[in-house]
């Protein structure tokens, strides 16, 4: 599939698996890699210009979300790339900036995850939450608030939903691709 909304930066064009869906209103710039069955929904802005962005298989990035990175510097020689694992659901209007997300995560609508933050596998982040720079969210918990706080262990039904949400979005993006 050919996407008209992929833009190079310094000669580097985003790499997109053939099974991905990218809405026409989204903008994907620079050193970005989208794995199998990723979906990028309306008005997403992803800028891999001063560092890299990697998005794992079956992850969905919902409407109005911003994906960005931190440049390399003397104080931060590697900068902060944005790394997102597999089966991640990123809700509407989120901001992910130079952070690392594991797999099977739900990022609630309007959440902000800042530079150097690490979110381990199997985590729920509530809508509107703020994950401060360099904070680690450990696996298996619900986190909410500004700044985010660990609230409780995930219920089995919530853990199961993390994978199901990713499957739901793979099916939806397939519907869009088959129109």
From residue 36, alpha-carbon distances to 56, 91, 108, 146, 147 in Å are 7, 19, 23, 33, 33
| Per-residue pLDDT at 3 | 76
pLDDT of 1 strictly over 80: no
The CATH architecture of the domain made up of 6-177 is 3 Solenoid (2.160)
Which residue would you say has higher pLDDT here, 128 or 2?
128
In this prediction, residue 35 has a pLDDT band, given cuts at 50, 70 and 90, of very high
Each residue's pLDDT tens digit, 79-136: 999 999 999 999 999 999 999 999 999 999 999 999 999 999 999 999 999 999 999 9
Token pair of 3 as six digits: 């996407």
Whole-prediction pTM = 0.96
Cα(64)–Cα(95) distance, integer angstroms: 9
Distance of CA 121 to the CA centre of its chain: 13
Domain positions in the chain are 6-177
pLDDT of 4 strictly over 90: no
| Per-residue pLDDT at 46 | 98
| Per-residue pLDDT at 153 | 98
Handedness of CA 53, 123, 160, 91 (dihedral sign): negative
In this prediction, residue 32 has a pLDDT band, given cuts at 50, 70 and 90, of very high
3-state secondary structure at position 170: helix
Could you count the other beta carbons within 10 Å of the beta carbon of residue 12?
Answer: 14
| Per-residue pLDDT at 78 | 93
């Amino acid at each position: 599939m050919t996407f008209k909304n992929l833009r190079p930066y310094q000669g580097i064009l985003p790499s997109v698996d053939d099974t991905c869906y990218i809405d026409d209103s989204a903008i994907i710039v620079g050193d970005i890699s989208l794995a199998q069955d990723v979906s990028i929904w309306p008005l997403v802005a992803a800028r891999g210009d001063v560092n890299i962005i990697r998005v794992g298989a079956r992850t969905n990035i919902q409407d109005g979300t911003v994906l960005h990175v931190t440049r390399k510097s003397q104080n931060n020689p590697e900068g902060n790339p944005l790394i997102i694992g597999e089966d991640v659901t990123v809700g509407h209007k989120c901001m992910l900036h130079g952070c690392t997300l594991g797999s099977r995560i739900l990022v609630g609508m309007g959440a902000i995850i800042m530079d150097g933050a690490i979110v381990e596998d199997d985590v729920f982040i509530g809508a509107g939450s703020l994950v401060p720079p360099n904070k680690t969210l450990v696996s298996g918990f619900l986190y909410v608030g500004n700044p985010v706080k660990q609230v409780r262990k995930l219920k089995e039904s919530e853990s199961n939903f993390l994978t199901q949400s990713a499957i739901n979005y793979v099916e939806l993006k397939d519907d869009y691709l088959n129109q």
